[in-house]
């Protein structure tokens, strides 16, 4: 094999081996709690806190039905620091309430709450490869999902918290308390133009969830990371050395989950 071709193939393999990274859930009271490097805010990264009442940071728009930006109020659950003081309450800020919902008729039912976004690579000057948000209120028990869609609306990657089944994702309070506010995010090295955020639960008392601090942008892998990945590949290619890597397309909980296509394709 010619050296240049070998180098190109190794570089490609290193890129692929970098894989995706999942972030969270981690406590989040202000942008300082983001796991992303936000030093490029306004150029390579953007953060929407909804404090001007709209989804209007550059390069992002609704993919499905628009969510509702909640004004300050007793049931509003903004990120804590958006009202100027980290005091355990987000009532004086603004948050986003989901509007999409799908319920099946199993017992107990599977309730799927949804918001979705698309990204404009021309407006941004890049295709984002990092996305995150702060889940601020919703059902205490359930699962949080980020789906990356291709341009045809099919799921390309599926990221799931917890890894299987349902777990504790919120608390028993719905009054703007910030104790249950948690960051969820992904780094997907191939980039993406469409993202769907789900909250799944079996509690049919819930028809929405709240989120805040949508953040998206581009992460450039460190050269040292690339070198490490290439080393990992060479080690993995040795005979008798097999390694299992974390499955990124994790198994969904038992029971039927709604697909995003259920929302964009007419039924029947």
Q: Can you tell me the distance from the alpha carbon of 183 to that of 25, in angstroms, rounded to the nearest whole number? A: 5
**Of the candidate residues 48, 147, 188, 212, the single one contacting Ca ion (CB under 5 A):** 212
Q: Sketch the per residue contact string, 172 through 211, with Ca ion: x for CB under 5 A, - otherwise.
A: -x------xx------------------------------
CB nearer to Ca ion: give 154 or 168: 168
Shortest approach of Ca ion to residue 203 CB, angstroms?
13
CB nearer to Ca ion: give 135 or 260: 135
Q: Is 170 in the site for Ca ion (CB under 5 A)?
A: yes
**Of the candidate residues 93, 100, 185, 253, the single one contacting Ca ion (CB under 5 A):** 93
In degrees, rounded to 5, the angle at the alpha carbon of residue 52 between the alpha carbons of residues 50 and 53 is 65
CB nearer to Ca ion: give 20 or 31: 31
CB nearer to Ca ion: give 56 or 254: 56
Q: Can you tell me the distance from the alpha carbon of 153 to that of 151, in angstroms, rounded to the nearest whole number? A: 5
Shortest approach of Ca ion to residue 100 CB, angstroms?
20
Q: Is 136 in the site for Ca ion (CB under 5 A)?
A: yes
Q: Is 67 in the site for Ca ion (CB under 5 A)?
A: no
Residues in the interface with Ca ion (CB under 5 A) total 19
Per the CB < 8 A criterion, the answer to whether 201 and 142 are in contact is: yes
Shortest approach of Ca ion to residue 143 CB, angstroms?
16
Q: Sketch the per residue contact string, 24 through 63, with Ca ion: x for CB under 5 A, - otherwise.
A: -------------------------xx-------------
Stretch that binds Ca ion, among 62-70, 113-121, 163-171, 190-198 (CB under 5 A): 163-171
| 40: Cβ contacts below 8 Å, ≥ 6 apart | 217
**For the residues of the chain, what is the DSSP string, one character each?**
--HHHHHHHHHHHHHHHH--EEEEEEE-SSGGG-SS-GGGBTTTEEEE--TTSS--STTEEESSS--EEEPSSTT----GGGGS--SSB-TTS-EEE--EEEE--SSSPPEEEEEEEEE-HHHHTS---EEEEEEEES-SEEEEEEEEE-TTS-EEEEEEESSSS-EE-S-S--SSB-TT-EEEEEE-TT--SEEEEEEEES-TT-S--EEEEEEEE--PPPHHHHHHHHHHHHHHHSTT---PPPPSSPPPPSSPPPPTHHHHS---
What six digits make up the tokens of 146?
């980020």
Shortest approach of Ca ion to residue 46 CB, angstroms?
14
Shortest approach of Ca ion to residue 134 CB, angstroms?
9
Shortest approach of Ca ion to residue 170 CB, angstroms?
4
CB nearer to Ca ion: give 91 or 202: 91
Shortest approach of Ca ion to residue 75 CB, angstroms?
10
Binding residues for Ca ion, per CB under 5 A?
A: 49-50, 77-78, 80, 82-83, 87, 89, 93-94, 136-137, 170-171, 173, 180-181, 212
């Amino acid at each position: 094999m010619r050296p240049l071709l070998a180098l190109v193939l190794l570089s490609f393999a290193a890129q692929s081996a970098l894989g995706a990274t999942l972030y969270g859930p981690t406590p989040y009271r202000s942008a300082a709690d983001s796991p992303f490097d936000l030093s490029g805010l306004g150029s390579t990264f953007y953060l929407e806190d909804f404090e001007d009442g709209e989804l209007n940071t550059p390069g992002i728009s609704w993919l499905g039905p628009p969510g509702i930006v909640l004004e300050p109020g007793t049931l509003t659950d903004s990120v804590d620091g958006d009202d100027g003081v980290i005091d355990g309450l987000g009532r004086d800020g603004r948050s986003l309430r989901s509007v999409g919902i799908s319920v099946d008729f199993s017992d107990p039912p599977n309730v799927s709450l949804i918001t979705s976004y698309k990204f404009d690579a021309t407006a941004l000057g890049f295709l984002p490869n990092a996305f995150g948000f702060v889940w601020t209120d919703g059902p205490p028990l359930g699962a949080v999902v980020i789906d990356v869609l291709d341009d045809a609306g099919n799921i390309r990657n599926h990221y799931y918290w917890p890894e299987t089944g349902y777990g504790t994702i919120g608390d028993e309070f719905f009054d703007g308390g910030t104790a249950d506010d948690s960051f969820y995010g992904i780094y997907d090295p191939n980039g993406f133009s469409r993202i769907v955020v789900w909250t799944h639960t079996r509690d049919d008392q819930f028809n929405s969830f709240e989120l805040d601090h949508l953040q998206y942008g581009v992460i450039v892998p460190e050269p040292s990371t690339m070198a490490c990945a290439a080393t990992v590949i060479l080690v993995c290619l040795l005979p008798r050395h097999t390694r299992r890597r974390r499955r990124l397309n994790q198994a969904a909980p038992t029971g039927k989950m709604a697909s995003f296509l259920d929302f964009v394709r007419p039924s029947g």
